[in-house]
Amino acid sequence: MMKQGRRIRTLAGGCAIAAVLGLSAWRSGMFFDADFYGLEIVLMVCAALAAIAGRLRPGQIRTPAWSFAPAGMAALFALELALGPATVKGTTDLLIRWTTYASWMVLLAFFLIPNEDNRKAGWRAWHAVGLFVVGGGLAGWLGFVGDPRLVFRSGDLALAATGARLAGYLEYPNAFGAAAAAWVLAQWQLLLHGRRAEIVFAALTLVPYTTALLLTESRGALLALAFGFALALMLQRRERLGMGLAAAGAAIGLSAWVARAAFAAMLDGHPGTAVWPLAAATLAGALALLALRGRFPAVRAGRAGRIAAALTTVPGGAAALAAGLAAAYAALVGGGSADARVGGQFETAVSRIAFYTDALRMFADHPLLGAGGKSWRMLVGLYRQKPYIGNEVHSGYLDILLDVGLIGLLLLLGMLLWCALRLRKRADQAWGPAAVLLAHSAIDFDWSYGFMWLMLIAWLALHLAAAEADRASASVGAFAAADANAEGAPRRAVRRRGALHRIAGLLPAAMLLGCAAAALPVAWHSLAAARAYADAPAAAGPAREAKLRAALQANPAYTRIRLELAPLLPPQERVELLAAGLRYEPHSPPLALALGMAYAELGDAARARGYLREGLRLNRFDRDAQNAAIARMARLAERLSDAGAESAAREAAEAAVEFFERYRELYRRVYAGGNNPWDAKRDNLFSGAKGNAAKAMLRIGRTQEAQDVLREVAEEENGDWREEARELLRRLDEANRPGG
């Protein structure tokens, strides 16, 4: 009966691990916080109970110090909240996330450490999730799953050479590519280190997983795989090197052939036909890999056996790898997919230099503790030196540096180093796939996906739990020997050391419980706000306003809700609502701009000018905001003048001209020596700004400048502004004629 209960608990634990990872992958990789709140609450509550149980029954429930390591990052975000971050919501969301990551690691340790059966269940769960994530992506490419988010489509060759890239449930080919690359290397290692059934499983999945990676066209993921593969080779024993090299060569050659066929089938509009090359390559690859692994005793003595033996030497394996790489190059670059991004232009990589340069400028202003969670999204407009769209900095390490500064980055690297030291005896199996995920996150925003952290932590915890069990076995033997030979005094010393160890173990548990106590209420209210906000679009009129009010009441730091609620309110209440939002995001461009617009509606030219100026300073390259600010102040000047408030009207007109002149100078400076879109005669992007500014110039007596600007508009491509400019110029000419 006890064994049956233990089997049920083991099965339930394995299913829970698979469910958490599978659900987090399926929900867009938990990129969006609103998707993550519910799971975060469940994990934090369960981990808090496990941590308390581990302290109350330390001999029976194991939650070692390493399992609490991510709680240090959570504590840093809690400190950021006390210091006043750039965005309260962004910081609380990352406090919740890092508390969840610590909770996940504690729960994994709680389940995996006690016995080998649990660890086997954990490994099966991890690989089952790989089948679900990578297999689901392939099924979407082949058209067997009607989920449009699984395939990214674009007519831009710089984004998708064949018009389509595999994006998987993460909806982003690069991040999906990184996850697929980690599973590719995990299957390769399983082929080398696994038992009989595991070897067969690895042989059957290595080619499909590698094919999925190639279908993402992610150069960064391929580079990360190369890095992880090189590290794994360095850590392998020499007797496995030849086999590993040959297996990699076979997998990459066959997968490239399948990927070429899959790209061609997609271009032909019949992606499902690629299933046959995939099935053939999977079967051929499995047979070849099993033969290399020596799983067919009948062929060992024959010619095939001699070939396999030659290929599994280091020179033979290196030759097989070189042949596989050459075949892959011929299939994906030199063949029908000559423009594939695996060998194409590198504009996107070069463009990220602009992100990194601006990020380092931001870091220089907040070096030690950063500016708080998700500070890049909030402050990028202030630091951006040229126009680009970039809500993500495209580097996980830079993101950490911006959010929690040098202290946070050192803490994160220290956590990883601590894991590396604890896994030094298992390094040949632990660090290849982990290195793939850690390397790719340096050049993309993988760490914005909750799934990527949950995946990485699960991989590390599986190895750390095995290492913990090894140490426990060694310690039991050592203590038994000491007990047999020692007198009373050594026994007392052992007991004292055990007491100190228990006391020290309270500290990380207390840190996690403190972070959970801070994060759980916020997560609960954030979940309520997200649900109310999700219901708002389906409502109309007062019902929609009520939904948005309820959402904002649940989470006052949620600026998007505040901005959507504001237009539904009377001007004075709108001003109060928006001004309250600045307490949570004092550097928010949308809040400052909306507040300036609200003051303009109230007729307060001075305050409208101040807030609009601040909003434009915080996001200079927002062309829509620049145009809207100029237009609003020009119309306000006209309205105030009609009402007889000439002084206020002049201030509004001066504000419109000020915004225009800064706008024009910004583009002249940024595009100095290049093609300035401001001066493009066939592009009406700036005609509205010029027309409204000219009207404001006329109101404050700058007639000649207004005429110059109007002539620019009159020379531009057909449009309403061109006709209006010509009419204004005609009136000015008539007014300037003698007797006019």
Contacts for 109 with CB less than 8 Å, ≥ 6 apart? 62, 63, 64, 66, 67, 461, 464, 465, 468
pLDDT band (50, 70, 90) for residue 240: confident
pLDDT at 502 (0 to 100): 60
Mean local confidence (pLDDT), 352-375: 95
Q: pLDDT tens, 550-559? A: 999 999 999 9
CA 51 vs. chain centroid, Å, equals 29
Mean local confidence (pLDDT), 561-573: 96
C-alpha 515/C-alpha 94 separation (Å) is 11
pLDDT at 158 (0 to 100): 67
Backbone CA torsion sign across 407, 87, 558, 446 = negative
Mean local confidence (pLDDT), 143-164: 85
- The CB density around residue 427, as the number of other CB atoms within 10 Å, is 16
Between 284 and 509, where is the model more confident? 284
Q: pLDDT tens, 371-384? A: 999 999 999 999 99
Contact 17, 125 (CB under 8 A): yes
300 has pLDDT over 70: no
pLDDT at 505 (0 to 100): 63
589 has pLDDT over 70: yes
Q: pLDDT tens, 177-236? A: 999 999 999 999 999 999 999 999 999 999 999 999 999 999 999 999 999 999 999 999
Mean pLDDT of the chain: 90
pLDDT band (50, 70, 90) for residue 488: very low
The string over 351-383, giving b where at least 16 C-beta atoms fall within 10 Å of a residue's C-beta and e elsewhere, is ebeebeebbeebbeebeebbbbbbbbbbbbbbb
Q: pLDDT tens, 422-453? A: 999 899 999 999 999 999 999 999 999 999 99
pLDDT at 335 (0 to 100): 46
pLDDT at 18 (0 to 100): 98
Between 504 and 136, where is the model more confident? 136
CA 656 vs. chain centroid, Å, equals 39
Closest CA to 312 of 225, 227, 231, 246: 246
pLDDT band (50, 70, 90) for residue 468: confident
Q: pLDDT tens, 172-188? A: 999 999 999 999 999 99
Nearest-5° Cα angle at 39, 36 to 44: 115
Mean local confidence (pLDDT), 70-91: 96
pLDDT at 494 (0 to 100): 43
| 430-to-63, 102, 176, 422, 508 alpha-carbon distances in Å | 20, 20, 21, 11, 24
Q: What separation, in Å, do the N-terminal and C-terminal C-alpha atoms of the chain show?
A: 107
476 has pLDDT over 70: no
**H helix intervals, 366-424:** 375-383, 396-422
Catalogue all structural domains in the chain, each as residue range(s) with its CATH number: 146-345 (no CATH), 588-736 (1.25.40.10)
Between 3 and 165, where is the model more confident? 165
Closest CA to 470 of 508, 428, 426, 432: 426
pLDDT at 336 (0 to 100): 45
108 has pLDDT over 90: yes
681 has pLDDT over 90: no
Q: Tell me the pTM.
A: 0.93
pLDDT at 734 (0 to 100): 80
pLDDT at 388 (0 to 100): 85
Q: pLDDT tens, 253-295? A: 999 999 999 999 999 999 999 999 999 999 999 999 998 887 6
Q: Determine which helix (DSSP H) or strand (DSSP E) holds 152, and give its type and residue range.
A: strand 151-153
Q: pLDDT tens, 609-658? A: 999 999 999 999 999 999 999 999 999 999 999 999 999 999 999 999 99
Fill in the amino acid letter for 643: A
496 has pLDDT over 60: no
Three-state DSSP class for residue 166:
strand
pLDDT band (50, 70, 90) for residue 347: low
Between 484 and 183, where is the model more confident? 183
Contacts for 162 with CB less than 8 Å, ≥ 6 apart? 217, 263, 266, 267, 337, 339, 340
Mean local confidence (pLDDT), 84-108: 97
**H helix intervals, 536-645:** 542-554, 559-565, 571-581, 589-602, 605-618, 623-642
Mean local confidence (pLDDT), 464-489: 63
